[in-house]
Amino acid sequence: MMVIRPIQKNDFAELVKIADESGHGFTSLPNNEELLASKITRSEASFKKTVDCPQDEGYLFVLENTETGEVLGTSAIEAAVGLDDAFYHYHLSKVIHSSRTLNVYNPVEILTLCNDYTGATELCTLFLREKARKNGNGKLLSKVRFMFIKEHEDRFADTLLAEMRGVSDENGKSPFWKWLEEHFFSMDFPTADYLTGIGQKVFIAELMPKYPIYVNLLSKEAQAVVGEVHEKTKPAIQLLKNEGFTFNGYVDIFDAGPTVEAKLNNIRTVRSSSHKKVIIGDNPGGQNIMIANTELENFRATLAALSFDENCDDIIISAKIAEALQVSEGDIVRIATV
């Protein structure tokens, strides 16, 4: 059975493998063992922490095959970004250059460096290993975060965002960064991406252009990828759009990948989720639903084919599912359709 749970120290070796497989452009999971160990420590502390408003907590989840013990993916939530380190974006907007005398009217796109998402909750570190990309595992790994956030609303902001990986090739070369590198930096994209991932962001403020960048002055290759996603990221952004996330012109400062956002209670999974009381027994099966306990430190969630009545307060689950979710008869669970 596939189960989502908080990461633990003994998952370290598996997390290192996932970081290695994730490749270039996956800023939140750099291939650095010291940093990965600190991410696990921070996550464990966050789950244990008493919180009444979002601060610097980071919650890291893993997808585990309970039959083999193998960790097959990760996803994470940053409670509030930009409170300790500046959280940068470029905002894509337009300025008008016009002259009535000359009868000229030219709308021009510009990129302006900003920190507009400071304090928002970020969905991040979503990666599913190749062999597990089936049977709804990706949807579970992504969407279960909405159920967790709804269950523990005081720990998170009302605005949720997700930075999507921008366009780069198999060697980690980004057309957008190539232009920035030529004019403002002296390091390649993987290096800049890695430094950001390990928390060394001061070079951004020191070297990034302070004034708006006219998009039409970028190289043609760089212009073409502004707001576009990496080929492997297309399913992820489509999933978020289906949930109600929108692109409002914010792009990553390194690869120009889009950032999408939504208000918590406008998200489809959140709106459709509900609490049910557990009855342990035989369920004839039905549609695939996500089902999660209401715990914090001992959070568990899975995907199962279950029959249930939306108008009934109860749901019947098998003893195997109850064991996986660490719930007993009469406990409350949260469910949502996939």
- One-letter amino acid of 256: A
In terms of DSSP bridges, do strands 213-214 and 274-280 run parallel, antiparallel, or are they unpaired?
Answer: unpaired
Q: Which tokens go with 273?
A: 């989720």
Active site residue 91: no
Q: Which residue has the tokens 């004034």?
A: 211
CA distance 334 to 291: 6
Of 91, 97, 152, 230, catalytic: 230
Closest CA to 301 of 331, 271, 327: 327
Amino acid at 34: E
Q: Do residues 94 and 172 lie in contact, with contact meaning Cβ atoms separated by under 8 Å?
A: no
Closest CA to 302 of 284, 314, 286, 317: 317
Residue 165 near residue 233 (C-beta atoms within 8 A): yes
As a whole number of angstroms, the distance between CA 238 and CA 335 comes to 22
Residue closest to 295 by CA, chosen among 338, 336, 331: 331
Active site residues: 230
